[in-house]
Amino acid sequence: MTRADSDAGLLVLHALRCGGYAALPRLSATTGLSEPDVESELIDLAVAGYVTRSSGFDAWGCTAAGRDADAERITGQLEAAGARPAVTAAFDRFLVLNPELLDLCTAWQLRPEEGDTVVNDHSDPAYDARVLARFLDLHERALPVCHALEAALPRFGRYRVRLTYALDQARAGELALVADSTASYHVVWAELHEDLLATLGIPR
C-alpha cells in the first residue's frame, strides 16, 4: 500500500472531492489532520495523479483519476463496514432537514422590511438572534443524524465537530460562520450533503 492509499490519504482526497478546490488550512479543518500531514498526503496523491495544484490561487483539487479512485475506495469502505443501511437511513433523515436549512440560510441573507425583502445587513440584532435560534433548533435535530453517521463510518464525525463549531462561533458574534465563509454552517452542511451522495453513489 502506498501512502496515497492510506486512510489519511483517502480523507484528504475525499475532502477535495466533496468540497472542491481548497488550500491547506481548509483541508486541515475538514479532515482534522495537521497542515504538515495534509501537505505530505497531497504530495503523494499528486504523484499518484489523483490531485493537482492550482498556482493561480494556491489550492488543490481532484483530477478525474482522483475522483474515480475516491469513488472506488469510498464504496469499498462503505461495504466493508456493512454501513450502507445505516448511512442510507441517516441520509433519508438528512433530506427531511435539508429544505429547512436552505430556508434558514435565505432568512439569514434576506430580511423583511416595511412589506419588502432586503439584504440582511445585520443591523437588526433582534432579527439575527431569532434566525440563530432557529439554526440552533435545527442543529439539535441534526445532531442525532450526525451521531448515526459517525457510528456507521467514523470519518463522518468531523461534520458534527465543524457544524457545532460554526454555530457556536456565529452565536458568539462571528456572523460570517453562518453562511458567508468556507467554514460556515451552510458550507459544511453542503459538504456533508455532497459526501452522502458520493458515499452512497447517488448522482446529483
pLDDT value for 186: 98
Sign of CA dihedral 79, 61, 155, 2: positive
The pLDDT tens digits of the residues spanning 4-56 come to 446 899 999 999 999 999 999 999 999 999 999 999 999 999 999 999 998 77
Taking the C-alpha atoms of residue 70 and residue 79, their distance in angstroms, rounded to an integer, is 14
The pLDDT tens digits of the residues spanning 108-134 come to 999 988 788 999 999 999 999 999 999
Look up residue 116 and give its DSSP letter. E
pLDDT value for 44: 95
pLDDT value for 58: 84
Considering the chain, what is the average pLDDT of its residues?
A: 94
Residue 169 Ramachandran class (φ > 0 left, ψ -120 to 50 alpha, else beta):
alpha
Whether pLDDT at 2 is above 70: no
Would you call 188 helix, strand, or coil by DSSP? Answer: helix
Per the CB < 8 A criterion, the answer to whether 44 and 19 are in contact is no
Instruction: Report the amino acid identity of residue 171.
Output: R
Residue 86 Ramachandran class (φ > 0 left, ψ -120 to 50 alpha, else beta):
alpha
Instruction: Report the amino acid identity of residue 85.
Output: P
Taking the C-alpha atoms of residue 170 and residue 105, their distance in angstroms, rounded to an integer, is 13
What are the residue ranges of helices labelled H in 50-83?
64-80
What contacts 40, CB < 8 A, 6 or more positions away? 3
Whether pLDDT at 68 is above 80: yes
What contacts 39, CB < 8 A, 6 or more positions away? 24
User: Which cell numbers in the block locate residue 185?
Assistant: 454552517
How many DSSP H helices and E strands does the chain contain? 9, 4
Q: What value does the mean pLDDT take over residues 193-201?
A: 97
Q: What value does the mean pLDDT take over residues 70-84?
A: 95
User: Which cell numbers in the block locate residue 90?
Assistant: 441517516
The residues facing 110 across adjacent strands are 119
Taking the C-alpha atoms of residue 29 and residue 166, their distance in angstroms, rounded to an integer, is 12
Q: What value does the mean pLDDT take over residues 150-159?
A: 96
